[in-house]
A and B are shown apart, each in its own frame.
Chain A
Amino acid sequence: MTTLAALTIHEAHDGLTSKKFSSRELTSACLAAIQEKNAQLNAYVHVQERGALAAAAKADAMIAAGREDIGPLRGVPAALKDVFSTAGAPTTACSNILKNFIPPYDATAVSRLKKAGMVLLGKTNTDEFTCGASTETSAFGTSKNPADPTRTPGGSSGGSAVAVGADMCIYALGTDTGGSIRQPASFCGVTGLKVTYGRVSRFGVISMASSLDTIGPMCKDVTDVAIVMNEIAGMDSFDSTTPDVAVPDYLEALKEIDVRGIKIGLPREYFIPGMDPQVEACVQAAVKELQKKGAIVREVSLPNTPYALAVYYIICPSEVSANMARYDGIRYGAGTNSSRDLFSYYTKTRGAGFGPEMKRRIMIGTYCLSAGYYDAYYKKAQQVRTLVKRDFDEAFKEVDVLIAPVAPTPAFKIGAHANDPVQMYLEDVFTVSINIAGVPALAVPCGASRGGLPIGMQIIGPQFGEDLLLKVGRAYELAHA
């Protein structure tokens, strides 16, 4: 008998409401999976066994009382990337500078999920302050890919991807600033949604790059993504970057799946020499399956794609340097005992508390924003950003969605890019444009390499078009079943 931890949200909900099993049993199965696998895979950095079982008991009481309003997330165990503030529980961004930080309030996404009945199992591993594409820069050690533990799970939401992919939870949340949901989802064979910028509130989520950050679900299938989105999406008065745009019922969008006449664009700049041919083959095969169901496929061009990585690696570190300025050892987090004046208190605290990748990003950002360089770097990058966004606007006049690979290769070996930061940045080549343009993209597993390493594709749409992405993703799941 397979473990209950392998269920999806909708399967768990059916089982709970038809009394096949309790939330306590479901939660215990997830905790057992964590006990069995976490020492090797290092997906979780904090586990909350008592809190989880208490939340499960509450859910079981509501179900036993025969309540009519048992929502789909009630009693279902989940994991949260360790940048989501969870009141009373450690939230560290996997950095030494926040090692002992315990927030006194929940992030909005967390409180919405708690209200919907989430059983919080614990917090998952991430690259330090979500800066990375492999989870290797975490102060708590890297996570390992369940398909091959000598390889990374991708990043920065590597811990969440492993927790979902290795059935150590039913669903998780991650964040995506330059690909950090989509790439680990692709490397671990799970489904992850990078939402339109502002679709989901970031209040209480530790910031990385404020004009690029998004938060979103990482799940076992498209239906589960829709269920979580129904709960977390929507304007929040605590996050003024969330526009007052209505949230559709994402499950309703999945009721009738018909892709006949849907126009799919394949951007030629995303199918290039140097990428692993197995990745291209899997994505092309997936597109063919949608074509057989009636979708119309054509090639499009996003001509400013070659500049997107440079745009990202100016804007992102610049905004990171601004967001990291608050870690001064005063209001929260670690600080030094060995300084006699304020200036050295700052420099020693930050020198000791930040890892090497953080220092690189902060310093690049500081340089790009400094007097004499601001126009040549940050302002220039913001102008090219306009060009990148226009490419997507033009493409969506011709097609409804784009389909592209998520990463140029499947999961790479741990340590592969240890000596060359720029090589690591190149892993983001297919993901960053989407963040720059603020559009949504759904990563869906679409095959595996000969060695069994998962490969994913991303379905990209216009701003606030998540329902269309979910429809196309579900159409692929059904065609491929």
Chain B
Amino acid sequence: MQLTREEVLHIASLARIELTEDEMIKYQEELSNILEYVGMLQKVDTAGIEPISQITDLTNRTRPDELLRAPLAAPDSLLACSRLFDASSHEILVPPVFE
């Protein structure tokens, strides 16, 4: 199972990670080896087997949309965690989406 350079570039773009040229070459090999190993599951007969995603049989748990208790943290203390938060204008300033 050998990933092409284009596939690695595509995955990195989907994952929003910028790779150097050296990293591109290194990960091409490492990711190919890992995918080779996990590819063994293709040998397992899973006809008619349901996939599990919730291991203790819970399904969507809902409750009324009511405030049960005081918030754990004031909204401004959460905003202050951002390095892009401008307290005076009370905005988070991000780089432009479009050029």
Interface residues of A (CB under 8 A from B): 87, 101-106, 196-198, 211, 237, 240-241, 243, 304, 307, 309-311, 313-314, 321, 325, 328-335, 339-348, 350-351, 354, 356, 359-360, 362-364, 366-367, 370, 376-377, 379-387, 389, 421-422, 425, 436-438, 463
Contact = CB atoms under 8 A, between A and B. Distances in A.
B52 A376 contact: no
- 10 cross-chain pairs, A with B, having the tightest CB-CB distances, nearest first: A438-B55, A382-B51, A351-B18, A347-B18, A383-B46, A104-B77, A104-B73, A105-B72, A346-B16, A332-B81
Given A307-B44, A310-B41, A389 B34 contact: no
B53 A339 contact: no
Nearest to B14: A366
Interface of B: 3, 7-8, 11-19, 23, 27, 30-31, 33-35, 37-42, 44, 46, 49-56, 58, 61, 63, 68, 72-74, 77-78, 80-84, 92, 94-99
B38 A105 contact: no
A347 B15 CA distance: 8
Given A241-B56, A321-B15, A345-B95, 17 more contacts: A101-B81, A105-B72, A211-B55, A237-B63, A243-B58, A330-B84, A331-B78, A332-B82, A335-B84, A347-B18, A359-B19, A370-B11, A370-B14, A383-B50, A383-B51, A387-B44, A422-B33
Given A198-B58, A421-B33, A211 B51 contact: no
30 contacts: A87-B73, A104-B77, A104-B78, A104-B81, A240-B61, A241-B56, A310-B38, A329-B83, A330-B92, A341-B97, A342-B94, A347-B13, A351-B19, A360-B27, A362-B15, A362-B17, A363-B11, A363-B12, A364-B31, A364-B34, A364-B35, A367-B3, A377-B41, A379-B51, A380-B42, A383-B46, A385-B51, A386-B49, A425-B37, A438-B55
A359 B49 contact: no
B70 to A, nearest CB: 11
A65 B23 CA distance: 62
A389 B55 contact: yes
A386 B51 CA distance: 6
A212 B92 CA distance: 34
A341 B98 contact: yes
Contacts of B49: 383-384, 386-387
B31 A350 contact: no
A354 B49 CA distance: 36
Nearest to A311: B41
A317 B63 CA distance: 31
A360 B34 contact: yes
| Residue picked from B42, B44, B50, B55, most chain A C-beta under 10 Å | B55
A438 B31 CA distance: 27
Contacts of B74: 104
B58 to A, nearest CB: 6
Contacts of A310: 37-41
B82 A363 contact: no
A342 B96 contact: yes
Contact of A463 (B17, B23, B56): B56
Nearest to A237: B68
B23 A382 contact: no
A303 to B, nearest CB: 11
A334 B83 contact: yes
Contacts of B30: 360, 421
Nearest to A312: B38
A380 B33 contact: no
A243 B56 CA distance: 8
B16 A350 contact: yes
A225 B77 CA distance: 35
| Residue picked from A304, A329, A363, most chain B C-beta under 10 Å | A363
A367 B27 CA distance: 13
A363 B97 contact: no
B55 A197 contact: yes
Contacts of A240: 58, 61
B96 A307 contact: no
B95 A340 contact: yes
A313 B23 contact: no
A346 B84 CA distance: 13
Contacts of A359: 17, 19, 23, 27
B98 to A, nearest CB: 7
Contacts of A387: 44, 46, 49
